[in-house]
Structure 1
Amino acid sequence: MVEWDIRKLRILRTLREQGTVTATAEALRMTPSAVSQQLTNLAKQVGVPLLKAQGRRVRLTDAALLVLRHAEAVFEQLERADAELAAHLRGEVGEVRVGAFSTAVPALVVPAVRALRDSAPGVKVRVREAEAGEAYELLAAGEVDLALSLAAQAPVVGDGRFTRVQLLADPLDVALPRGHELAGVPGLRLADLAGEPWIFGGSGPWSDITRGACEAAGFTPRQGHSAAGWTAILAMVEAGMGVALVPRMAAVGRGGVVMRELGADRPVRHVVAAVRRGSEAGVVVGRVLGALEGVAAGVG
Structure 2
Amino acid sequence: MVDWDIRKLQILRTLRERGTVTATAEALRMTPSAVSQQLTNLAKQVGVPLLQAQGRRVRLTDAARLVLRHAEAVFEQLERADAELAAYRHGEAGEVRVGAFSTAVPALVVPAVRALRETAPGVVVRVREAEAGEAYELLAGGEVDLALSLAAQAPTVGDARFTRVPLLADPLDVALPAGHELAAAEGLRLADLAGEDWIFGGSGPWSDITRGACEAAGFSPRQGHSAAGWTAILAMVEAGMGVALVPRMVEVGRGGVVMREVAEPRPVRHVVAAVRRGGEEAPAIGRALGALRSVAGT
TM-score, with structure 1 as normaliser: 0.69
Counterpart residue number, 1:156: 156
- SS state at 1:249 partner: coil
- Please say if residues 87 and 282 of structure 1, whose CA atoms lie closer than 8 Å, have aligned partners that are also in contact: no
How far did 1:88 drift?
Answer: 5.7
Q: State how 1:245-260 maps to structure 2 within 5 Å.
A: 245-260=245-260
Q: What amino acid is the match of 1:279? A: G
- The equivalent residue for 2:212 is 212
Give CA-to-partner distance per residue, 1:144-175, whole Å, 9 cap, x none.
Answer: 00000000111100011111000000000000
What is the identity, as a one-letter code, of the residue corresponding to 1:208? D
Is 2:91 the counterpart of 1:90?
A: no
Secondary structure of the residue aligned to 2:169 is: strand
How many residues end up aligned between the 2 structures?
213
Q: Secondary structure at the match of 1:227?
A: coil
**Structure 2 residue ranges without an equivalent (≥5):** 1-83
Over residues 184-235 of structure 1, what are the superposed CA-to-partner deviations in whole Å (9 max), with x where a residue is unaligned?
1100000000000000001110000000000010000000000111111111
Cα distance in 2, alignment partners of residues 89 and 292 from structure 1? 20
Partner secondary structure for residue 294 of structure 1: helix
* Matched ranges for 1:105-184 at <5 A: 105-184=105-184
**Which position in structure 2 is the counterpart of 1:22?**
none
Shift of 1:281: 1.1
Highest CA radius of gyration, 1 or 2? 2
Counterpart position of 1:100 = 100
Structure 1: 5+ residue stretches without partners: 1-85
Q: Does residue 1:202 correspond to 2:202, yes or no?
A: yes
Structure 1 residues 118-145: Cα deviation after superposition (integer angstroms, max 9, x where no partner): 0001100000000000000000000000
Residue 204 of structure 1 aligns to which amino acid in structure 2? Answer: G
Deviation, structure 1 residue 279: 1.1
Name the residue aligned to 1:53: none
Report what 1:191 is aligned to: 191
Q: Which residue does 1:269 correspond to in 2?
A: 269
Query: Which residue in 2 is equivalent to 1:11?
Result: none
Partner in structure 2 of residue 50 of structure 1? none
Partner of 1:138, secondary structure, is: helix
Report the residue type matching 1:237 in the other structure: V
CA–CA separation in structure 2 for the residues paired with 1:158 and 1:254: 42
Residue 220 of structure 1 aligns with an amino acid whose one-letter code is S
Once the two structures are TM-superposed, the CA of residue 266 in structure 1 deviates from its matched residue by 1.2
Who is 2:237 aligned against? 237
Q: Distance in 2 between matches of 1:220 and 1:242?
A: 15
Q: Distance in 1 between matches of 2:85 and 2:99?
A: 22
* Residue 251 of structure 1, CA deviation: 3.3
Cα distance, 1:282 vs. partner? Answer: 1.4
Other-structure match for 2:19? none
Report sequence identity in percent: 83
**Equivalent position SS for 1:250:** coil
The residue type equivalent to 2:103 in the other structure is T
Q: CA RMSD of the aligned region, Å?
A: 1.3
1-structure distance, mates of 2:179, 2:100? 36
- The residue number in structure 2 matching 1:59 is none
Partner SS, residue 249 of structure 2: helix
Q: Quote the Cα distance in structure 2 between the aligned partners of 1:109 and 1:251.
A: 15
Residues 1:228 and 2:233 are matched in the alignment: no
SS in 2 for 1:137: helix
Paired residue type of 2:206: W
CA offset at residue 90 of structure 1? 3.0
Distance in 2 of aligned mates of 1:90 and 1:283:
7
Letter in 2 for 1:195: G
Measure, in 2, the Cα distance between the counterparts of 1:177 and 1:253: 13
Distance 1:120 1:141 in 2: 27
Between the aligned partners of 1:253 and 1:207, the Cα distance in structure 2 is: 23
| Matched AA of 1:155 | P
8 Å Cα contact 2:88/2:284 also seen in 1: no
Q: 1:89 to 1:173 in 2, by over 3 A?
A: closer
Cα distance in 1 between the residues matched to 2:177 and 2:203: 24
* Matched-pair contact (CA < 8 Å) for 2:88–2:283: no
Write the distance in 2 (CA, Å) between the matches of 1:212 and 1:119.
40
2:289 counterpart residue number: 289
Amino acid at match of 1:153: Q
Counterpart of 2:164 in structure 1: which amino acid? R
